[in-house]
Amino acid sequence: MSTRPTVLITGASTGIGAVYAERFAQRGHDLVLVARDQARLDALAARLRSEHNVGIEVITADLTQLSDLTTVEARLRDDARIGILVNNAGAALSGNFISQSTDSIAHLVALNTTALVRLASAIAPRLAKAGVGAIINIGSVVGLAPEFGMSVYGATKAFVLFLSQGLSLELSPQGVYVQAVLPAATRTQIWDRSGIDINTLNEVMEVGDLVDAALVGFDRREPVTIPPLQQAERWDGLQAARHGLLEQIRQSVVAPRYQPPV
């Protein structure tokens, strides 16, 4: 068994989660793999055990179901070996807002936001008490771009970014590293499951490239990692503009442009 912290990865059966499992196994970490597809989890676990000689446990769970979610939460609270959480499980929806059913929207929000924040809440107090550990939250550049027309999905990913930045400010002084990873279009099964033909997209990143880049950011302890962003200065500029805007907010004084006419 590894002396490195165990990594719990959600959405681990395919795509980004499966590649994170591969990469952390290569680094010598034991794993807890969480997803709905038992057969795929078992096949991945067997291969990684054989290739990398690490301990791997599988938890079959649908994180939109409270009973399954609380099982994973309990594991994160109670298992002191788990020092890294990869909050990767997520889904997307095809169509525009008025064509999406209320139930499908609620399901998306439950998986992309509620499950993610509950799992982070389950592990964060223990990591902070220990003074070490990491939480990786998989967001999306769509969370920066309402212009892309994916209103609910983008809103959930904006939540992931905001939450990650807030947790980073709160937890980093206590030794806990929080990283938000913002992919653009990546070749995973999320597209098929949401009814979107990935072949209609002009540019798609390979999932291995995405995770390898995200782990470069992880090793650098970046609070926000955006693998497809070609000029890091653009993100720095956005942050500077946001801080400048906040400096102009005076909580007790209405801006002159909103003063009622005399």
In a domain, 177, yes or no: yes
pLDDT digits (tens, 9 = 90+) for 56-104: 999 999 999 999 999 999 999 999 999 999 999 999 988 899 999 999 9
Confidence of residue 185 (pLDDT cuts 50, 70, 90): confident
Query: Does the residue 1 lie in any domain?
Result: no
* Annotated catalytic residue, options 20, 153, 177, 258: 153
pTM (two decimals): 0.93
**126 within some domain:** yes
Q: Is residue 123 in some structural domain? A: yes
What is the tally of structural domains in the chain? Answer: 1
Contacts of 92 (CB under 8 A, 6+ apart): 108, 150, 153, 190, 191, 193, 194, 196
Is the model's pLDDT at 202 over the cut of 90? no
pLDDT number for residue 15: 94
Task: Determine contact, residues 198/185, Cβ cutoff 8 Å.
Answer: yes
pLDDT band at residue 2, thresholds of 50, 70 and 90? low
Examine the residue annotation and report whether 153 is marked as an active-site residue of this protein.
yes
Structural domain of residue 10, as residue ranges? 6-258
pLDDT at 119 over 70: yes
- Domain contains 35: yes
Burial label, 10 (beta-carbon count in 10 A; 0-12, 13-18, 19+) = buried
Average pLDDT along the chain = 94
- Which CATH number characterizes residue 124's domain? 3.40.50.720
Taking the CB of residue 256, how many other CB atoms lie within 10 A of it? 6
CA 90 to chain centre: 8
pLDDT over 60 (residue 1) = no
